[in-house]
């Protein structure tokens, strides 16, 4: 696994972890992972490390990105307080820039040789949809599909005051994070101790601006119009959408109404899967369900 940094603006550097397939004859697309609010590139470790049941590293190149203010991008994110600095559009711009830089710099081990698939979780799924309008034409031609895991809608979402207040303090301390995991994010009977420790580390380690941005203005951002216009340039694009049966953060009904319907209206071929017994953290609660969708590409 290679640790890389990408200069997405003169002031901002974004960290990512890249793996190349160990099988030399692989003809699989690059799998690009975008984590949830509170996560990091490590959220995807069950896919990007070789010693797990759901590892993709034998056949697929993978790129797991630390979004602005999270993981190893914590100290390299913007330090100001302007609303656009941790907006969905700004983070989507980071993704488009990273992919453009990677493609331009690819050598004989070109991870884009067989295209790429965007895998977004929750906030990362909203960033995935927003990035569709920012990808260059050559990247648009290489995009094979989307996998959206418990996706936040591309339209504006304004939660009730009590839920918004809970989100604003969800990652303030280890105690608060453990409460949020057990009562909101996951089925605690499924997670291992190491899963919980990883979540705590990722959520606690985010910088304060990134923690505040999603409940304060990220979820209210509407990226649907730009995405809808961009989808006209894509041909035969397909999306797999995965939701948790018990998810209270992005309930199945809202995902169907605001994500599935949005994509189907814009000529995307959508498959929809509900995973029983899990909540919001499917990459850790039930990675097999995501692995199955990736292996369709």
Q: What is 53-81 written as a DSSP string? A: TT--TTT--EEEE--TTSGGGTTTS--S-
Going by pLDDT thresholds of 50, 70 and 90, the confidence category of residue 109 is low
pLDDT at 81 over 70: no
Percent of the chain with pLDDT over 90: 80
Euclidean distance between CA atoms 218 and 220, whole angstroms: 5
Euclidean distance between CA atoms 55 and 52, whole angstroms: 5
Q: At what angle do helices 224-231 and 123-131 cross, to 10 degrees?
A: 50
175-184: buried (b, 16+ CB within 10 Å) or exposed (e) per residue? ebbbebbeeb
Owning domain of residue 188: 2-294
How many domains, in total, are found in the chain?
1
Q: What are phi and psi of 96, to 5 degrees?
A: -60, -40
Predicted pLDDT of residue 170: 81
Structure token pair of residue 172: 């303030």
**Going by C-beta distance under 8 Å and a sequence separation of 6 or more, which residues neighbour residue 58?**
21, 22, 23, 26, 50
Between 48 and 76, where is the model more confident? Answer: 48
Euclidean distance between CA atoms 272 and 255, whole angstroms: 10
Predicted pLDDT of residue 107: 66
pLDDT at 76 over 80: no
* Angstrom distances, CA of residue 233 to CA of 28, 101, 139, 206, 229: 23, 22, 11, 35, 8
CATH code for position 34: 3.40.50.1820
What is the tens place of the pLDDT at every residue in 11-67? 899 999 999 999 878 899 999 999 999 999 999 999 999 999 999 999 999 999 999
pTM reported for the whole predicted model: 0.95
Strands 62-65 and 143-149, bridge-based pairing: unpaired
Which of 88, 43, 4, 66 is closest to 290 using CA atoms?
43
For 89, other C-beta atoms within 10 Å of its C-beta total 17
Euclidean distance between CA atoms 227 and 14, whole angstroms: 23
Average pLDDT over residues 258-283: 97
Predicted pLDDT of residue 17: 97
What is the tens place of the pLDDT at every residue in 209-234? 899 999 989 999 999 999 999 998 89
Pair 187, 278: CB distance under 8 Å: yes
């Amino acid at each position: 696994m290679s640790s890389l940094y990408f200069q997405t603006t003169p002031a901002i550097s974004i960290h990512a972890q890249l793996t190349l397939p160990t099988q030399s004859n692989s003809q699989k697309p690059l799998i690009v992972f975008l984590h949830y609010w509170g996560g990091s590139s490590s959220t995807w470790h069950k896919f990007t490390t070789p010693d797990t049941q759901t590892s993709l590293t034998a056949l697929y190149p993978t790129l797991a990105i630390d979004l602005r203010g999270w993981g190893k991008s914590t100290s390299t994110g913007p330090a100001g307080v302007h609303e656009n600095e941790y907006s969905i559009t700004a983070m989507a711009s980071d993704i488009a820039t990273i992919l453009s830089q990677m493609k331009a710099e690819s050598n004989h081990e070109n991870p884009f040789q067989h295209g790429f698939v965007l895998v977004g979780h929750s906030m990362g799924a909203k960033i995935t949809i927003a990035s569709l309008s920012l990808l260059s034409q050559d990247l648009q031609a290489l995009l094979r599909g989307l996998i959206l895991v418990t996706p936040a809608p591309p339209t504006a979402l304004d939660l009730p005051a009590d839920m918004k207040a809970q989100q604003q303090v969800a990652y303030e301390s280890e105690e608060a994070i453990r409460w949020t995991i057990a009562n909101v994010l996951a089925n605690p009977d499924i997670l291992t101790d190491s899963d919980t420790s990883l979540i705590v580390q990722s959520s606690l380690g985010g910088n304060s601006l990134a923690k505040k941005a999603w409940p304060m203005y990220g979820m209210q951002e509407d990226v649907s119009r730009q995405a809808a216009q961009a989808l006209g340039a894509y041909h035969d694009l397909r999306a797999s959408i995965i939701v948790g049966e018990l998810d209270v953060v992005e309930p199945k009904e809202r995902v169907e109404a605001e994500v599935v319907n949005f994509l189907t209206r814009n000529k995307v071929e959508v498959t929809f899967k509900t995973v029983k017994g899990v909540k919001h953290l499917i990459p850790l609660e039930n990675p097999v369900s995501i692995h199955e969708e990736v292996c369709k590409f």
